Amino acid sequence: MKAAICTLYEGDYHYGVGVLTNSLYNHGFRGIVWVGYRGDLPPWATDLKEGEGYHEYTVNLDCAIRFIKLEISKHLTNHKPHFMWDIWEKYQPDLDALFYFDPDIVNKCRWDFYENWVVRGVSVCGDSWYQVPANHPRKLAWKEFAQSQNMVIEREFDFHYNGGFVGIPKEYKSFLLTWQKLIDIAADEDYLDLKQPYSHQHTNTYPYFPNDQSALNLALMLTPHPITTFGPEGMDFVPGGILMSHATVPTVKPWRKKLIVNALNGDGPSMTDRLYWQHSQAPIKLYSSIKFKWNQFALKAGAGIGRIIRRAAI
């Protein structure tokens, strides 16, 4: 299978891009990682080669990151389906499958699992807000929104899926157009603020459509294509996961976390923190040896502090 990875970042999220790439490579991914970015290129991306519309950083002989500068004003989370479609249409049309990962995800799983997974349909993972009945008021509002646009609901389900990961096989890439269309229509009708996802106004105002994730879930209800799903353990939202680990809000991003200070405040190192530092140095070296060793120590110290605090609270 010829597959590629893509992600989006701005600001210090480039650290997440580096660790995401390392964690995928260290579990067997070989190919191109497409990165849409706004602002500056990462300081670790040196010796770049210029391509047609992108700059290429060599990770290893069989893996590269291609950076595409985005001149858009909307929040990058609302650009996911548009970016994925552009990769297929403009940059790599011969792909058999394309996967999007948020840059605050660390992979835990062998790469061939993803390839075997995606051939079964549009691939998604359960959200931390997972058990959402088909007759939930928000879902009923989404259905009414779709029906007002003469869209047909193909399936209903009692779950809610996270927008931080999606795998699309080529034969079902039209799913991206549905997801993209929903975002665009919702923005045009002022149901969604493209620049400010999760705004209080749009989260709590009918039809409750604050971000790309709402559009993703409605697109899953609308698509005639097969879907294949993991539960919330797929992103370490509940214990027992083997797939990936996702540092979502309100979690402090691993590259910003003061591990010992946070542990003293009752927030010990998470699974994502440990995985982040595990994959921070190879094949892309993101930190000096001194900083890496300090954070290895801080992980152990923070875990010990966390155990003491938990025991004291019993």
Question: Where in the chain are the domains?
Answer: 3-235, 257-313
Average of per-residue pLDDT across 214-220: 97
Residue 260's identity, in one-letter code, is: I
Q: What are phi and psi of 277, to 5 degrees?
A: -70, -30
Say if CB 66 and CB 55 are below 8 A apart.
Answer: yes
| CA neighbours closer than 13 Å in the CB half-sphere of residue 15 | 14
- The mean pLDDT of the chain is 94
Domain spanning 3-235: which superfamily?
Answer: Spore Coat Polysaccharide Biosynthesis Protein SpsA; Chain A (3.90.550.10)
CA-angle at 194, arms to 189 and 197, nearest 5°:
110
The pLDDT value recorded for residue 195 is 87
The tokens describing 294, both together, are 């300090």
The tokens describing 57, both together, are 């950083």
pLDDT > 70 in the chain, percent: 98
pLDDT at 199 over 80: no
Quick one: pLDDT band at residue 198, thresholds 50, 70, 90?
confident
Residue 262's identity, in one-letter code, is: N
The pLDDT value recorded for residue 311 is 63
- Euclidean distance between CA atoms 129 and 72, whole angstroms: 30
- Euclidean distance between CA atoms 293 and 273, whole angstroms: 14
Q: Which residues pair with 6 in a beta bridge?
A: 34, 100
The model carries a pTM of 0.95
DSSP 15-38: HHHHHHHHHHHTTT--EEEEEEEE
- Pairing of the two strands 31-38 and 3-10: parallel
CA distances from 289 to 18, 172, 298 (A): 16, 44, 14
Q: How many Å is the Cα radius of gyration of the chain?
A: 20
Report the b/e string of 105-144 with b at 16+ CB within 10 A.
Answer: bbbbbebeebbebbeebbbbbbbeebebeeeeebbebbbe
